[in-house]
Amino acid sequence: MQNVPEEWREEQRAGGGGEVDAKPWEGREALFQINTVNSKQDMDRGKENGETGVKERRKENVEMMNEGGKGTDKESLMMELTRLVQKTVKESSWWERRGIDITILVLAFLLLPPAFLLLGSSQILVFVLGMVLMGVSHAVISIKGTHLASHGSLSESPAWAEFWAVFFIEVCGSFTARAGVTGHIKMHHAHTNVIGLGDSSTWKIPCLPRSVYLFIAPLAIPIITPLVALGQLKDHSVSQALRTVLMVFLGFYSQHWLLMHVSGFQCPYSSLLCMLLCRAMFSIPYIHVNIFQHIGLSMFSPTRRPKRIYQMTHGVLNLPRNPLLDWTFGHSLINCHVEHHLFPFLSDNMCLKRELLDKQAEMVRTMTAAENAINKLQVNTVSIENSVTEVREVIENQFTVLQAAVERAKREVTEILEGEEKQALRQADGIKVHLEQRCTELKKTQAQVEKLSKNKNDVDFLQEYSEWKKDCSDITLPGVYIGLMDRLNSFSREIVTSTQELCELLLSNYIETLKETCKNDMMGIKTTVHEIIAAKQNMDVPDPKTRDDFLKYANPVSFDADTAHKFLRLTEENRKVTNTTPWQHPYLDVPERFESWRQVLATESFYVGRHYFEVDVSGEGTYVGLTYKSIDRKGPESNSCITGNDFSWCLQWNGRSFSAWHGDVETPLSVDKFTRIGVYVDYSRGLLAFYGVDDVVGMTLIHKYKAEFLEPLYPAFWLSKKENVVVLVEPGEPLTLKSPSPPKIPLNTDVAPRNRFTVTLVVEQ
């Protein structure tokens, strides 16, 4: 515990101080304290004073803590840093914990005698040097001494701790020791009030420039500090108040007496003015803050790490850069919290913690976005099902209408045919009656002719013939042509022709038009997951050119055992696959497994962003590419192979040259032989490229596709021949094969060499 009077400690625990000590500890371990309440008040005051830089940085800290997930709020992080400071201080030596401070104080006191002597010189430069030495000594004693004394860090004895508190705080610092120990932030309120920055900037005049508060206003600090101390005496006992007044007076009078008798000042007013100037000379803004708390973890970045705390102070309050202020103002904060010998270690650790926190926050954001995307996809799936159901109902209704129209057309055509049939029958009946009548008349005429021909009397014959000739009617009959079959055949041809035209029109109106419509992004059924863009995934990032550029988008993957064909054997933790035809393997019969084609997919998929993997090729008839997960696994048709459908893209090595396959179309390629093939995917841009990788030549483009990817892409491999081997290797592994073709089998050996087909799959996160 701190070596301070117990009654002061009780008052501090009762809430009498202005600063809450979260976990006080011995000596220099007490130099780091947490005050989350004051931090919020500081943010409010910073807002009121127009300190936008402070507000923005603190806002970033709060947002970062909120995004860090459970258990990573600001208070817990500050407690973690507190424990780190405790550990660092406890492990430091006596020289680091006390020796440096005592040495600085001793040097400050040793500067006082020459300072008083130099102030008695009549030479201006010597006098100014004395003023500077006096100001530096007073600044060190009043700032470092008072703060160390307020923490009880100068002695392990409570009595001596109280003595040093009275000496440094009241005699040297012109403040009340009790208030300085119970809430030592009050010692520094005068400084912050005068300059108008920091914890309690209530006296700031907005119309004055900042230079006034930095260089002119501190001249009033020696006067204001005792006045602030007098305001604290109302909570003191009479004896403590009298002692404080006496000690403060003793401090002022002793310095005045030394100036008069040692320095040789003749006028008491000039002595008083010199004393106030020396006290105010280095009374630059002294803000009592937790440097880590107010700056926040955002300052600890591996890319822009500060080497010393005083390099961070102007970032805290958005102050202008000034070498003198950098040293004095910065060191006042160092004296308050963390010394030079502690800061580099803490800075390194906090940079690492910040980096881990950033990674954790990024992972939390990514997981949250992924969960949101999954939820949206689930909702989208239900929406798609409902929408498709509605469209299906529309299709059923419309085709019911179409079927009704066909039935109506059928009835009308049948009615036309029946009408023609009735008309033809009526016509046939009329002609039949007419012919029957003519036939009867002809029979009568025939009977008359036969009777006439039997008359042997020539006179009678001529007389009867003349009468018959006179009364004889036309014996001709109309010609009858039955063309019904021709008319029916013509009718049938018209029906067939019209039906064919309607079917073609139906197909063009429905199938072709719908296909064209679905090709349009605005009309088709399509699900899109937008990317959570990282810096390396931004569209403005240039395309990779060197192998190192490609390997930035790399992560190892493994084979999916549930997709491997029964003739493919997986070993080495699913990182090696071998075609063992005709030997089968006892795999479970699952829907994902390929049955006809000796293929296997990778477990990981590529979706949104840039991805890259490499393949070491050895053996003929080996195919490497990418496909959708929806590829058919069971059928023997070509669309179940990665070479024979519209959603697979692959590269083949046939032992002599490379070929590109897509949509069952082979594209021969005239390129050199490469032992390693790199496959690069820029999903967002719809780019798929195959590169030849060589240690000397570098990256050589073999073939590239430009397509619109609608589903996640899975690395796919087809081992078409026996002894083909594919091995997934780590990203950046050196080239091992000298030729993509398998080595020839020596005649004098009984052991066949193994064909090796090595793959490096590299996935961007």
370, pLDDT greater than 50: yes
Output 593 or 4, whichever has higher pLDDT.
593
Lowest mean pLDDT among 214-228, 258-272, 279-293, 731-745: 279-293
Q: Give 355-367 pLDDT, tens digit per residue.
A: 677 778 888 888 8
User: DSSP for 414-470?
Assistant: HHHHHHHHHHHHHHHHHHHHHHHHHHHHHHHHHHHHHHHHT---HHHHHHHHHHHHH
Q: What would the mean pLDDT of 689-700 be, rounded to a whole number?
A: 88
- Given pLDDT bands bounded at 50, 70 and 90, which one contains residue 213? low
Q: How far apart are CA 563 and CA 576, in angstroms?
A: 14
**326: pLDDT confidence band, cut at 50, 70 and 90?**
very low
pLDDT at residue 456 in the model: 72
Position 125 scores a pLDDT of 94
Q: Give the separation between CA 169 and CA 179, rounded to whole angstroms.
A: 10
- Coil, strand or helix at 92: coil
Q: What is the average pLDDT across 382-387?
A: 84
Nearest residue to 617 (alpha-carbon basis) of 456, 757, 749: 757
- Lowest-confidence pick of 166-180, 520-534, 648-662: 520-534
User: What band does 534 get if pLDDT is binned at 50, 70 and 90?
Assistant: very low
Query: What superfamily does domain 546-762 belong to in CATH?
Result: SPRY domain (2.60.120.920)
Whether residue 9 has pLDDT greater than 60: no
Residue 443, pLDDT score? 83
198-212, 250-264, 436-450, 484-498: least confident range? 198-212
More confident position, 188 or 685: 685
Better-scored residue on pLDDT, 688 or 224: 688
Instruction: Please give the C-alpha separations between residue 149 and each of 445, 597, 701, in angstroms, as whole numbers.
Output: 162, 83, 72
Bigger pLDDT: 126 or 341? 126
| Gyration radius (Cα) of the chain, Å | 51
Q: Is the pLDDT of residue 544 over 80?
A: yes
The set of residues, in sequence order, having a beta carbon less than 8 Å from that of 372 and lying 6+ positions away, is: none
Pairing of strands 599-601, 676-682: unpaired
* 341, pLDDT greater than 70: no
**The amino acid at 105:** L
Lowest mean pLDDT among 227-231, 271-275, 289-293, 726-730: 289-293
pLDDT in tens, 414-463: 888 888 888 878 878 878 887 888 788 788 878 877 877 777 777 777 77
pLDDT band at 78 (very low <50, low <70, confident <90, very high): low
Least confident span in 113-122, 338-347, 548-557: 338-347
**pLDDT for residue 143:** 73
| Calculated CA dihedral for residues 237, 242, 246, 252, nearest 10 degrees | 70
Confidence of residue 682 (pLDDT cuts 50, 70, 90): very high
- Three-state secondary structure call for residue 665: strand
pLDDT of residue 205: 58
Q: Are 552 and 731 in contact (CB under 8 A)?
A: no
At residue 194, the 3 state secondary structure works out as helix
Comparing 23 with 83, the larger pLDDT belongs to 83
Residue 86: pLDDT above 50?
Answer: yes
Most confident of 297-301, 651-655, 743-747: 651-655
Give the pLDDT confidence score for residue 230 in this predicted structure.
83
Structure tokens at 124: 């201006």
Q: How many angstroms separate the CA atoms of 755 and 726, rounded?
A: 9
Give the pLDDT confidence score for residue 651 in this predicted structure. Answer: 93
For residue 201, pLDDT over 60 is answered with no
Percentage of the residues of the chain whose pLDDT score is greater than 90: 20
Reading phi first (left if > 0) and then psi (alpha if -120 to 50, else beta), residue 572 is in: left
Residue with more model confidence, 531 or 579: 579
For the cut 80, the answer to whether the pLDDT of residue 239 exceeds it is yes
Scanning 96-209, the segments in alpha helix (DSSP H) are: 100-119, 124-140, 146-150, 158-165, 177-182, 189-195
Confidence of residue 664 (pLDDT cuts 50, 70, 90): very high
What token pair was written down for 314?
A: 């102007």
Task: State the average pLDDT for the chain.
Answer: 72
Q: What number of other Cβ atoms are within 10 A of residue 390's Cβ?
A: 10
- pLDDT class of 118 with cuts at 50, 70, 90: very high
**Residue 600 reports pLDDT greater than 90:** yes
Q: Which of 292, 349, 299, 354 is nearest to 33 (CA)?
A: 292
pLDDT reported for residue 527: 56
Which sequence spans correspond to the domains of the chain? 6-341, 546-762
Structure tokens at 46: 């910073």
More confident residue, 84 or 38: 84
- Measure CA of the first residue to CA of the last residue in the chain; give whole Å: 50
Query: What is the pTM (predicted TM-score) of this model?
Result: 0.44
More confident residue, 715 or 516: 715
Cβ(194)–Cβ(218) under 8 Å?
yes
Residue pair 102/395 in contact (Cβ under 8 Å)? The answer is: no
The pLDDT, as a whole number, for residue 569 is 92
Averaged pLDDT, 643-663: 91
- Return the minimum-mean-pLDDT range out of 16-25, 202-211, 352-361, 481-490: 16-25
